Amino acid sequence: MDIVYCSHTGYTREYAQLLGRAERLRVYSLEEAKNQLEPGGQVFFFGPLMAGTVTGLKEARRRFDVLGACGVGMSPPSPQVLETLARRNETGELPLFYLQGGWAPDRVGWLKRHMVQMVTRSIRRQLEEKGEGRTPEEQVQLEFLIRGGSFVRPEKLQPIRDWLAAREEPAGTAP
Ligand SMILES: Cc1cc2nc3c(=O)[nH]c(=O)nc-3n(C[C@H](O)[C@H](O)[C@H](O)COP(=O)(O)O)c2cc1C
């Protein structure tokens, strides 16, 4: 299996490369994969979220045998985020993961920056209104929404690594 990813501002690429290094799998951008991999080859796909859509996933599924996929967004992970992701992207039975990447307002164009700022405005306002009453976590969240930052951590890949390991176990070894 190879790893294929799409990435606009680099966070999804970071996760793809971290997984590739940890699992000794080759990593390709979707563009590279289209030129270098055989159609129908088995891949694990990483793509950034844009308005709930995992960028590149549809194209990757048309072209390759996508065995699992991971959406990377700016929201903190939750079961609800994953459920919405599956529904919006019509992934059905496809093993699906979600990881928090980052937010880089200075690496996206004006329109995209404004789209995100509009969506996050009410949460930003709520946090700003708390003033001195903000918890340290809320302070981190507010600064993240305003200035951006990265939540990419290698250990967050563990659920995907566990899933990969379970796939490799020979049949019949389960207790
Ligand atoms: C136009 C736009 C729409 C976005 N929509 C979502 C979204 O629906 N959910 C989410 O969690 N993050 C959303 N994000 C944040 C990105 O998914 C996040 O910054 C991600 O880490 C980007 O990955 P990349 O650096 O690989 O491009 C959006 C960002 C932009 C610019």
Q: With the C-alpha atoms ordered 84, 51, 65, 16, is the resulting torsion angle positive or negative?
A: negative
In this predicted structure, what is the pLDDT of residue 140? 93
List pLDDT tens digits, range 43-60. Answer: 999 999 999 999 999 999
Please measure the distance between the N-terminal and C-terminal CA atoms of the chain and give it in whole angstroms. Answer: 26
Q: What's the 24 CA to ligand 1 centre distance in angstroms?
A: 27
State which H helix or E strand residue 85 sits in. helix 79-88
- Whether ligand 1 lies within 6 angstroms of the CB of 70 is answered as no
- Whether ligand 1 lies within 6 angstroms of the CB of 73 is answered as yes
Does residue 22 contact residue 157 with C-beta atoms inside 8 Å?
Answer: yes
Does residue 71 contact residue 54 with C-beta atoms inside 8 Å?
Answer: yes
Q: What's the 16 CA to ligand 1 centre distance in angstroms?
A: 16
Helix/strand/coil for 10: coil
Cα–Cα nearest to 16, from 40, 47, 39, 41: 47
List pLDDT tens digits, range 147-170. Answer: 999 999 999 999 999 999 999 876
Ligand 1 atom nearest to CA at 8:
27
Ligand 1 atom nearest to CA at 11:
25
Instruction: Give the domains, in start order, of the chain with CATH numbers.
Output: 2-102+149-168 (3.40.50.360), 105-147 (no CATH)
β-sheet bridge partners, residue 103: 149
